[in-house]
A = this chain, B = another copy of it.
Amino acid sequence: MEHLREELDELNNQLLEMSCLVVSSISQSVNAVINRDKEAAETVFQNEIQIDQLEILIDNLAFQLLALQQPVAVDLRFITMSMKINNNLERMGDIAVNIAQRALSLLKMGPLMPQIDIPHMARLAQDMMSDSINAFVHRDPDLAKTVLKSDDAVDNLRDQMYNEILKFMEADPSMIHPGIDHIFIARGLERLADHATNIAEDVLFFVQGIDVRHHAQPI
């Protein structure tokens, strides 16, 4: 039993390390876009290698725990939650890579479209990511519910942005290429918010044993 406890702690700690890496990657990718910072983009590509390794390590750890310890009840819920959060974190790392690639593409062109408020959308999505991870760290269902409520705001912002970017592209063909980069950055931030939502749903299932996926009402 004590051995199980130690291994569950280990799983928890590895997941926290993974979270820190992914938060840092997303933050650097947003920096790369907003501050036209090539080095920040390079950091994201470096982090990616470590994130991929950590994903496999965490998955193996969870599988070994299931195989050797035959956990039940809350421990079992914790392990299955960990596997899902791990998967979402890895995909967030991929999104950071995509955003960093778009940042490098934009570096070859003019400055960021000042009318398109990428920083605002980035802040919203990053807040959702931090809140979902904190909800996991502190097993906090209220914080998880806050995340679920924020998802619509990010979706609305994305729709609004798409239309504005499209207008700029139509008015000036030299804006087409950077416009597409902007659209993909907005899309990446929207998907980041989706993964934060997934993590919040997993935390709620873990803490309260309720399943709120696919637009079931958060209680």
Q: How far is the CB of A50 from chain B (nearest CB, A)?
A: 11
Instruction: Find out whether the CB atom of B56 lies under 8 angstroms from the CB atom of A67.
Output: no
Instruction: Find out whether the CB atom of B83 lies under 8 angstroms from the CB atom of A76.
Output: no
Instruction: Find out whether the CB atom of B170 lies under 8 angstroms from the CB atom of A214.
Output: no
A219 at the interface (CB under 8 A from B): no
Q: How far is the CB of A178 from chain B (nearest CB, A)?
A: 11
Which residues of chain A (66-124) have a CB below 8 Å from chain B?
66-67, 70, 72-73, 76, 80, 83-84, 87
Pick the contact of A176 from B63, B80, B83, B176 — CB < 8 Å? B176
Residues of A in contact with B, size category: 20 to 34
Of all chain B residues, which has the CB nearest A77? B63
Pick the contact of A80 from B66, B170, B183 — CB < 8 Å? B66
Which residues of chain A (34-70) have a CB below 8 Å from chain B?
52-53, 55-56, 60, 63, 66-67, 70
The majority secondary structure among interface residues of chain A is helix
Instruction: Find out whether the CB atom of A56 lies under 8 angstroms from the CB atom of B214.
Output: yes
Instruction: Find out whether the CB atom of B52 lies under 8 angstroms from the CB atom of A213.
Output: yes
A180 at the interface (CB under 8 A from B): yes
A157 at the interface (CB under 8 A from B): no
Which residues of chain A (201-219) have a CB below 8 Å from chain B?
211, 213-214
Instruction: Find out whether the CB atom of B67 lies under 8 angstroms from the CB atom of A76.
Output: yes
Of all chain B residues, which has the CB nearest A62? B80
State in angstroms the CA–CA spacing of A72 and B67 once bound together. 6
A166 at the interface (CB under 8 A from B): yes
Chain B neighbourhood of A55, CB < 8 A: 213-214
Instruction: Find out whether the CB atom of A214 lies under 8 angstroms from the CB atom of B180.
Output: no
Q: How far is the CB of A56 from chain B (nearest CB, A)?
A: 6
A149 at the interface (CB under 8 A from B): no
Chain B neighbourhood of A56, CB < 8 A: 211, 213-214
A16 at the interface (CB under 8 A from B): no
Chain B neighbourhood of A80, CB < 8 A: 63, 66, 83
Given contacts A56-B211, A63-B76, A70-B70, list 19 more A-B pairs with CB under 8 A. Answer: A55-B213, A55-B214, A56-B213, A60-B211, A63-B80, A66-B80, A67-B76, A80-B83, A87-B87, A166-B176, A166-B177, A166-B180, A169-B173, A170-B176, A170-B177, A173-B173, A176-B176, A180-B180, A180-B183
